[in-house]
Amino acid sequence: MITKKQMQDLAKKHGTPLFIVDHDEIRRNYAQFKKYLPRVQAYYAVKAEPMPEIVKTLYKAGASFDVASMPEFMIVHEYIKGMPDKKRLAWIWDKIIYANPIKPNETLKELDQYRPLVTFDNLEEIHKIKKYAPHAGLCLRIRVPNTGAVVELSSKFGASPGEAVDLILEAVKQGLGVEGLSFHVGSQTTNFENYVQAINLSADIFKEAKERGYDKMNLLDIGGGFPAPYDSSVKPFQELAEKINAELERLFPDPKIEILAEPGRFMIATAGTSVMRINGKTVRDGKTCYYVNDGAYHTFSGIIFDHQHCNVYSFRKGKKTENCSVFGPTCDALDVISSAMPLPTDLQLGELLYSTNMGAYSHASSTWFNGFPPAKVVHINK
């Protein structure tokens, strides 16, 4: 775990704003995932933080990858240059799932040469895949409960369970191979029963498909949603794993059925730390306000896009704190990190603040709004 002194030393060396990625922490998170879900192959959701350095660390640890665009696909594809064609194609199936259910025609054309595994959830997508990527393997994404998820996804993607087998059989009729099912219970899911219900729905669909003459599905992708331990309200990962393992053992005991998952946040949330500098200070309506050189258009984008609550800390020790406002550097009033952050009120211009658990969906969504560049990235323990 990175220390305060390391943060300060790195900020002194590289300047601020600074985004620090601790690769030892990434490896610990991956090891924890495999320890408690040994049957499940982790396909890291590259969108959570699409840095080649992170992909490399997880690749070496044994992870596979969930991509949702061609640029993400090519970040992972870099690792198979020079492989013979047959080995390359087999590697892609083992290491990449293209898990965006809606794909442009141009993307499908480009993907077809790799014979990828792709998700779909509607009839039009079947027709597109048949025309532009007929060599792809298909995985039907179904709609499942997202109750209690911080980011709900079921309203945008997923076929209803009632139409699932009809879509599977239509894809087969078109000459395509449907390899299995996928679902997503919503991002940062703290209601573990979502997984229980989703696995049960999947088992029912497997059963119905077999009864209607299709028995060639051999994988179940249980998606993402595995919560990062942002605070004490998040129950231990081991507790979630026990529920998932019990349902898989009961409903999918056949070892020939591959179990996939798409953890993103879980793998990297705790591996990212932000360090920023105080550029301005004032008192408004009796409240101390600090203006820092990182914000909601940059590393703290998760406040807007990901419903994230980010804590900001001072390097000072033992000082009485009060609720302060912390604003980002842009001219937009939306650029607010917090309006009630407990901080010392006597901090001076030029002092540093920091935020932990910033690894997921943060720097990945940074912009150049107002001309302010994203934070500099520093990788440690690579």
pLDDT digits (tens, 9 = 90+) for 205-255: 999 999 999 999 999 999 998 999 988 888 999 999 999 999 999 999 999
Q: Give the tens place of pLDDT for each residue, 333-357.
A: 999 999 999 999 999 999 999 999 9
Q: Give the tens place of pLDDT for each residue, 161-216.
A: 999 999 999 999 999 999 999 999 987 877 888 899 999 999 999 999 999 999 99
pLDDT of residue 70: 96
Residue type, position 101, single letter: P
pTM of the model as a whole: 0.94
Mean pLDDT over each residue of the chain, to the nearest integer: 93
331 is catalytic: yes
For 61, phi and psi rounded to 5 degrees? -75, -15
Token pair listed for 250: 């009961």
Task: Give the range among 39-53, 97-111, 187-201, 324-338 with minimum mean pLDDT.
Answer: 187-201
- Per annotation, catalytic residue among 139, 289, 324, 331: 331
Q: Are 363 and 272 in contact (CB under 8 A)?
A: yes
High-pLDDT (> 90) share of the chain, %: 82
Average pLDDT for residues 261-290, to the nearest whole number? Answer: 97
Residue type, position 84, single letter: P
pLDDT of residue 306: 78
Any idea what the Cα angle at residue 33 is, between residues 30 and 38, rounded to 5°?
Answer: 120
Of residues 78 and 50, more confidently modeled: 50
Q: Give the tens place of pLDDT for each residue, 350-378.
A: 999 999 999 999 999 999 999 999 999 99
- pLDDT of 53 > 70? The answer is yes
Domains and CATH numbers, the chain: 4-19+270-380 (2.40.37.10), 23-269 (3.20.20.10)
pLDDT of residue 85: 72
pLDDT of residue 305: 83
Q: Are 334 and 296 in contact (CB under 8 A)?
A: yes
Helices (H) and strands (E) in the chain, counts: 12, 18
The 10 Å Cβ neighbour count of residue 374 is 19
At residue 42 the predicted structure's pLDDT band, cuts being 50, 70 and 90, is very high
pLDDT of residue 89: 72
Coil, strand or helix at 207: helix
- pLDDT of 134 > 70? The answer is yes
Q: Give the tens place of pLDDT for each residue, 70-98.
A: 999 999 998 876 677 777 777 777 899 99
Quote the radius of gyration of the chain (alpha carbons, Å): 23
CA 367 to chain centre: 19
At residue 150 the predicted structure's pLDDT band, cuts being 50, 70 and 90, is low
pLDDT of residue 147: 61
pLDDT of residue 263: 96
Contacts of 74 (CB under 8 A, 6+ apart): none
Coil, strand or helix at 248: helix
In whole angstroms, give the CA distance from residue 161 to residue 158: 9
Q: Are 360 and 49 in contact (CB under 8 A)?
A: yes
Task: Give the range among 105-114, 183-192, 286-295, 336-345 with minimum mean pLDDT.
Answer: 183-192
